[in-house]
Amino acid sequence: MAEPSASPLAAALDSVGDRWSLLVVEALLDGPRRFGDLQEGVPGIAPNVLSGRLRRLESEGVIVSEPYLERPPRYVYELTAAGRELADALRLLSDWGARHREGGDTPRHEVCGTPVEMRRWCPTCAQPVGDDELTDLHFA
């Protein structure tokens, strides 16, 4: 975590790029969760590891916590808008894991059997968008 962020990918991985953090984000994609829900939703995570990852994800602006009980203090955790934007990347990694680690197959279009791809899509124009049809990206 001490390395400089050499690229946007490195920057993303510095925020959320460890196994447990990404699994916690995945468990929160379906809505807010309490600590105990997350322990069940992320099998094998130790309570101290979960606490640490939640603190880090909150400091990175990926989740927020809201108290739901004062004594003892208890919190519910929820993705921010930035956190929810990780959904597509996690779905692709999950698809990849299903295909390559569990003997599964590529997802295919039901009517023609063609393996599906991912494309950028403009919901206003209802058409795919090529890399050369984007406004100037990031990188000030």
54, 65 Cβ separation under 8 angstroms:
yes
CB of 35 to a second copy, least distance (A): 18
Cα 82 from chain centroid (whole Å): 9
Rule CB under 8 A: say whether 118 interacts with a second copy. yes
Instruction: Supply φ then ψ for residue 44, to 5 degrees.
Output: 95, -5
Rule CB under 8 A: say whether 135 interacts with a second copy. yes
Count of residues interacting with a second copy (CB under 8 A): 70
Tell me which residues in 30-69 interact with a second copy (CB under 8 A): 42-44, 61
Rule CB under 8 A: say whether 71 interacts with a second copy. no
Instruction: Supply φ then ψ for residue 77, to 5 degrees.
Output: -110, 145
Tokens 């999950």, located at residue:
94
> Looking at residue 31, what DSSP letter applies?
S
Which residues bind to a second copy, rule: CB under 8 A?
3-15, 17-19, 22-23, 26, 42-44, 61, 82, 85-86, 88-90, 92-105, 107-114, 116-125, 128-129, 133-135, 137-140
